Amino acid sequence: MRLLRLYLGSYRVLRDLEIRFGHPTLNEALPTYVSSYGLDFLVGVNGTGKSTILRAIADLMRKLERNEPIPFLFEMEYELGVSDARRTVMLSNRLQNSYSEEATDLGPLQTWVNGELGELSSELLPTRVIAFTTGSEMEWTETQEREWVRQNNPEAVRSLSPIERAIRELPGKSTEPETGEETETQVTSRFLLIRSQWLSLVTLCGLLNDMAEVDRAEDRRLYKVLTEANIGAVRGFSLKFRINQGVTSPDDRFQVSRLAKYATRALRLGSDHLLVFDLTGPCHLPARSRRVLRQPAAFRNSGSSGYSG
């Protein structure tokens, strides 16, 4: 998805706001290129509504995927697909009169695909919308909880302990209490908030994916980013897990043991597991050919938990 334009009539502190996320204008003397992504920055002092714009996009995605009424004026235009399969989609609920193109009131949702009026379907929505904010995440979390409560069983959510609720907020975890029965009304949201505590893991995944796609470092998409950051190469990384009895699910235990098979070193002290991955040439051997060490000194004063990369 490449966002092209967003209009908001009245959303929280925002009034009659239109943003065009245009393609960069290139100097004709420079060689032209086609980027596989769009990168735009919203710059402004605190309190001007930068985070509110992200919230508006998230709110739109949640309502569109559930076919819910949208109570504020909006227009959103974006591109989906690449090459010959690329489509330009515009969604709007601005009621327009026959004398002017200006919005007059809230109207029904209308959909245009490549300039032609059509019907909204799941294929015309982005597969995933991912957001990251350096601001407070509390309101985002509360919104997600309210959405779950509204669609599912409020009593089941209230019955969860604080630890259980915290675990179910982790990426990849279902927020639905395990009742043994599937809830037909549950909808998997296309919107994903990257929490600050997972930023290092997300960054690591991006680097590894970039390395796996292209052999030559100069041809990788993140080559210029690493160069500007004075990072010559990624030589290795480590992952640390804390697997507590009665809290960690069997699936999480299985995933850690699966990762350990590919690690250069797999170290354990009590509930702490450290997996070290050495990416420097032919000496990179999987941990299954090495003895797992017990009670390494590096763990004796460690008080951190979760993932680190």
Domain range annotation of the chain:
2-127, 138-194, 198-299
The answer, yes or no, to whether residue 309 has pLDDT greater than 70, is no
Closest among 35, 39, 50 to 3, alpha carbons compared: 39
The pLDDT, as a whole number, for residue 19 is 92
The answer, yes or no, to whether residue 221 has pLDDT greater than 90, is no
The pLDDT, as a whole number, for residue 241 is 92
The answer, yes or no, to whether residue 291 has pLDDT greater than 80, is no
| Residue 287 binned pLDDT confidence (cut-offs 50, 70, 90) | very low
Task: Give the pLDDT confidence of 142-192 residue by residue, as tens digits.
Answer: 665 555 555 555 555 555 656 666 655 555 455 444 444 444 344 567 788
Instruction: Give the separation between CA 45 and CA 36, rounded to whole angstroms.
Output: 30
The answer, yes or no, to whether residue 102 has pLDDT greater than 70, is no
Closest among 126, 137, 116, 141 to 61, alpha carbons compared: 126
The pLDDT, as a whole number, for residue 50 is 86
Tokens of 15: 């009034």
277: number of Cβ within 10 Å: 21
Tokens 């995605």 appear where?
Answer: 61
Average pLDDT estimate for 270-298: 61
292: number of Cβ within 10 Å: 13
Average pLDDT estimate for 236-248: 90
Closest among 88, 94, 86, 19 to 54, alpha carbons compared: 19
Angle at 129 between CA 127 and CA 130, to 5 degrees: 135
Average pLDDT, the chain: 75
145 vs 17, higher pLDDT: 17
This prediction has a pTM of 0.62
Share of the chain above pLDDT 70, in %: 66
Tokens 């908001």 appear where?
Answer: 8
Task: Give the pLDDT confidence of 265-279 residue by residue, as tens digits.
Answer: 999 988 999 999 998
Give all strands (DSSP E) within 138-225, no chain letters.
191-193
Average pLDDT estimate for 40-54: 84
| Residue 254 binned pLDDT confidence (cut-offs 50, 70, 90) | very high
The pLDDT, as a whole number, for residue 27 is 46
Task: Decide: 147 and 55 in contact? Cβ < 8 Å.
Answer: no
93 vs 30, higher pLDDT: 93
Instruction: Give the separation between CA 70 and CA 53, rounded to whole angstroms.
Output: 15
Ranked by mean pLDDT, the top range of 42-46, 60-64, 93-97, 143-147 is 60-64
